[in-house]
Amino acid sequence: MPFRPLGLIPFISLTFLLFSAAIRVLLGVMAPTGAGLTFPLLLKAAATGLGFDLATLAYALLPIAVYLLLVPRRFAGHRLHTLLVQLLFLLFVAVLIFDGCAEYFFFDEFGTRFNFIAVDYLIYTREVVGNIRESYPLLPIFTGIGVAALLIAGLTWHTLDRAATATFTGAYHRSGALLLLPAVAALLFVNVNQSAISTNNYANELAGNGIYNLVAAFRNNELNFNQFYRTAPEDLVLARLHALVTERNNSFVAPDSGRFTRHITAAGAEKHLNLIVVVEESLSAEYLGSFGNRQNLTPNLDRLAGQSLLFTNLYATGTRTVRGLEALALSIPPLPGTSIVKRPQNGGFRSWGEILNGKGYESKYIYAGYGYFDNMNAFFSGNGFKIVDRADFTKDEITFANVWGVCDEDLFRKTIREASASHTAGKPFFSMVMTTSNHRPFTYPEGRIDIPGKTGRSGGVKYADYAIGRFIAEASRQPWYKDTIFVFVADHCAGSAGKSDIPVKNYEIPLLVHSPHHIQSGRVERLMSQIDVAPTVLGLMNLSYDTDFMGRDMLKDSGATPRAFISTYQKLGYLTEDQLVVLGPRKYAAQYQADRRSGTLQARPQDEQLLLEMLAYYQGGNYLYKNRLNRIRGGVESMLSMVGSDIKHK
């Protein structure tokens, strides 16, 4: 039966909706056992998902609307036009199949549909495309996509031909104009936050549409806190923040300046020890024997743990490397949207590097890859660090590398060379070292461990541990070793997917502080955040300094509530010993009884005082960040005004 006018549009729309539904079913099947996806919840996700599919379809049909409006009738009746429609439909089907494959692999890796991580995949094409090429069999995948697209196009050839004929013999210009209306409606009435249909994160992901999510993430990399999140009166928030960051050994500097600068006063002589902070890629606490793992993946770290100060209740602030680097370098809670590392005007903070530079140190950020990735070079160079990245490695310093960077062994050898250069120059040094080997595609030099490369996370973890063992052994032979503190901490966990708003258990990471000649070994079980690492280590060095840090020295009892900050790029979490408060866009707020050992959460009524404490950090942190930007802009405008006046005078 031939299609009526607009026949081509229903045909394309039906194709799109069927593919979208198939992807949703596929991802639902991929959800882990115990994901809590009940039948009513799946129905709700499917219904909401259909709404997002229709909104995405409305945007996808815009090029067709323009084509219908512009193509002349003389060309619409030509046989070349029919061929063009067939070819465009073939491309359309190939894109849908590609999207299905991409969503499958993305969900398998991150447990979510496309989000801001996928946006990075579009921006940093060298590393990301290289990672994909090294991780997946691309030739069979793309061959399969091509064959499947040709097969579907061939099977629907005659149906599509009749649909196109019916459409372009009717009032297709008017049809093109009408197609603009659904896109306008989608723009006005649909937003990505409407996919949050429950407290089950997997259901929320199924309720969305990957393509819609991708575009939304591209548009919303920075979220206005005061517009989208719960807030409290500013004076109340800042007063509470003032109380929370106050410690017994500090005093506020210029308290009326709109900054929370404090002077930390240490008792006794300062210890100008060298400092090497190794930030391990994706090293979840669950992989260490010290935290209960029985696979013997980390024998070197487990041995070091017994010789170090081991912190057993540290939580990562986010799910990306840039979040960990931000927390470690700046000691501030995560802001919604993208990390400060990737934002413009991200320099000039009173960072860990700037503080130690003021003590005569040489601060370096040493990275295995190219530091333009994720804007790391701009961030660290703007905050007191000299950059040493892959571009600074000579050919004879690289024994093995993949798309992400040189192997951990090469990175650590370079770290030792840089440390020795500073030591020879008579300067104490601070090196923040970012590894990459424990990352897909999990490739590393052969013969180092008993797990072959490219076989998964276990191999990546075990090789990273092997390299750490070699690093400490080689460093121990250096003249600067006995006066050096080694810190081992993860940037984030290996995986953060879960059925709850923020799966608490997935954010646990290890922290080891190793300096056998200066720091006594032991265990610290106090709940803490990544933003507490810098002030805690500076406390161990007994340094006095000015700081804008919002973290605390966890070895000094301030009497404040133990807490941690955990987040996705939209959801913000505030974790205490047994409570979790979560904030989200559209003024969303929820509170849970949290069993940190098992990771289970039970909904609880909102404690307004706990919410205020959370807002003191998050809303207060946002206030300080915005104030800083305003000071920068004001300074730039003042400078330009002075230059303009000078030019006019001359």
pLDDT of residue 280: 97
SS3 (DSSP) at 121: helix
Which pair of tokens denotes residue 373? 């990735």
Q: What amino acid is encoded at 360 in this protein?
A: G
Contact 192, 576 (CB under 8 A): no
Question: What pLDDT score does 194 carry?
Answer: 87
Residues 34-41, mean pLDDT to the nearest whole number? 88
What token pair was written down for 224? Answer: 């206005």
CATH superfamily of 234-619: Alkaline Phosphatase, subunit A (3.40.720.10)
> 437 phi and psi, to 5 degrees?
-65, -30
Q: Check: CB of residue 99 under 8 Å from CB of residue 211.
A: yes
What Cα–Cα distance (Å) separates residue 294 from each residue in 98, 287, 299, 362, 455?
Answer: 39, 9, 11, 40, 19
Model pLDDT for residues 73-131, shown as the tens digit of each residue? 777 777 788 788 888 889 999 999 999 998 998 888 777 888 766 766 666 566 566 66
Name the amino acid, one letter, at 53: D
Average pLDDT over residues 432-445: 94
Report yes or no: 385 and 364 within 8 Å, Cβ to Cβ: yes
Is 562 within 8 Å of 526 (Cβ atoms)? yes
pLDDT tens per residue, range 517-563? 999 999 999 999 999 999 999 999 999 999 999 999 999 876 778 99
Q: What are phi and psi of 185, to 5 degrees?
A: -65, -40
**213-263: pLDDT as tens digits:** 888 877 666 677 887 889 999 999 999 998 888 877 777 776 555 567 889
With b for 16 or more beta-carbon neighbours within 10 A and e for fewer, the 114-126 pattern comes to bbbbbbbbeebee
Residue ranges of the domains in the chain? Answer: 8-219, 234-619
How far is it, in rounded angstroms, from Cα 89 to Cα 326?
45
Question: Residue 478: pLDDT above 90?
Answer: yes
As a whole-number percent, the residues of the chain with pLDDT over 70 amount to 90
State yes or no: pLDDT of 132 exceeds 90. no
pLDDT band at 153 (very low <50, low <70, confident <90, very high): confident
Mutual orientation of helices 608-649 and 234-245 as an angle, nearest 10°? 100
Q: Note the pTM of the prediction, 2 decimals.
A: 0.79
Secondary structure (3-state) at 612: helix
439 contacts: CB under 8 Å, gap ≥ 6: 131, 281, 282, 404, 460
